[in-house]
Amino acid sequence: MPEIKFYNHEPIPMEMHKVKIVQQLTLLPVDERVKRIKDAGYNTFQLHNGDIFMDMLTDSGVNAMSDNMQSAMLRADDAYAGSETFYRMQKKLEEIFGIHYLLPAHQGRACENILTERFVKPGNCVIMNYHFTTAKAHITRVGGRVEELVKQEGLEPKSDLPFKGDIDLEALEACIKKETPENVPFIRIESGTNLIGGQPVSYANMKAATDIAKKYGIITVMDASLLQDNLYFIKKREAGMEDKSIRELTRMIADLFDIIYFSGRKFGFARGGGILVRDEAMYHSMEDLVPMFEGFLTYGGMSVKEMEAMTVGFDESMDMDVISQGPQFVDYCVRKLDEYGVPVITPGGGLGAHLNAMEFCAHIPQQEYPAGALAAAMYIAGGIRGMERGTLSEERNADGSERFASMELLRLAFPRRVFTLSQTEYVIDRVEWLYDHRDLIGGLRFIHEPKTLRFFTGILEATSDWPEKLAEAYKAEFGADQ
């Protein structure tokens, strides 16, 4: 998206597309929203889509398809084995990444399951810049553990550091020596670290980290689910990269890694996923796991229509005008909120705007899940569904005690090509109102707590009648029908 200049208006993000299909939205009255979030166990995952005005839960599988993506779905080849759709997808990925072997899977966490089954043994240590919930859950499920080595400054909520997802290189080498290379099945670098604000990793850091891995003979894996945002930030923020095309940057990054996996629900704008494997023998060591867990090797649990759309989406992800919209809308939202004084993660990353619930709700103790409470309050205050990214998204320690997250964030995701700037302004307005009434927000406690990935299906209750009090303050400001 180019920076279009205005004659008599401040610069604002410009959508480089026009809207051709729309979906009706409904804003329920505030008292009804209180009822719906209570019925959902104060868990935004449990809300029905009809309950929601603006769905900012995630960008996973909810990005808007282009006209070219939708038209490509009409040529899908639905053969169980040997589908031409698969070979078109494989060819496009090889063109972009330079890696021939592709293992298809129905989404990113399925790729993580296959990689874990193949490489991780009890007692192994997988090193990462930062974990993603499902990646960590798969590893711990089989008796492995995760060591997170993101640079300490990457966890500072407010900064101007351009690449807060960078791994600490000294700590990386020290960890390898401590664990011994034999006990480290692979090093995982997540492009666009999801849980700390969608913050990018620099090319220089990826290069240095993979050089260290090669020195010790350790496999390198990149989670490319948020690669498109990371590519945008490398081109805009990293010295010497401004003249590189998105395709050039993608190939430079891909050449560093042994394995690249992705969720097509994010990268590719459709529903699916895949593992790209450079080495033929390594590919064959995993290929039996696809029919075991996913489907045959030429569809991997995906709809072939989605695969055709995704193949076009990969091309669109190489277009700066396409991939810039998300980061620019996030940046606009973050800057406006920061100017107002709302505690928000800076600089703006990819994926979404991230409210710092630790500061926003400083009066709520961490054991009462401040980010989860802020998510519920955000729904009450505007019909806006965000996602908790904090202690609620962690799993308890083996002794049953809470594992407190290093950050308590409410993520307001910006699905690609979905929201307009006026809707973004509405979000900013409601966040500012909620911040001015933050003392009314109270805590949450579990009444049904699943053992694994509890944030998806857990049921909670409010620790007091704070939702009703928040709604009364809202009605005094906006009326009962909004």
Alpha carbon distance 128, 148 (integer Å): 5
Which residue in the list 39, 78, 80, 87 is annotated as catalytic?
80
Nearest CA-CA partner of 131 in 109, 149, 117, 118: 149
**108 membership: H or E segment, kind and range:** helix 108-119
Going edge to edge, which strands form the sheet with 125-128?
101-105, 273-277, 259-263, 219-223, 186-190, 125-128, 145-148
Question: Which of helix, strand or coil describes residue 444?
Answer: strand
CB 76 within 8 Å of CB 89:
no
For the chain, what is the largest distance between any 2 Cα atoms, rounded to a whole number of angstroms?
66
Q: Quick check: is 214 catalytic?
A: no
CA distances from 222 to 188, 191, 325 (A): 6, 7, 23
CA atoms of 188 and 251, how far apart (whole Å): 18
Residue 132 annotated as catalytic: yes
The rounded distance, in Å, linking the Cα atoms of 358 and 296 is 46
404 is an active site residue: no
Catalytic, out of 33, 36, 266, 336: 266
Based on the residue annotation, tell me whether 266 is a catalytic residue of this protein. Answer: yes
**Catalytic residue (choose from 44, 85, 133, 210):** 133
Q: Which of 252, 435, 420, 245 is nearest to 323 (CA)?
A: 245
Residue type, 289: L
Which of 223, 229, 258, 331 is catalytic? The answer is: 223
Give the 3-state secondary structure of residue 2.
coil
223 part of the active site: yes
Q: Which of 151, 278, 389, 411 is catalytic?
A: 389
Among candidate residues 86, 119, 132, 426, the one labeled active-site is 132
Question: Which residues are known catalytic residues?
Answer: 80, 132-133, 223, 266, 389, 455
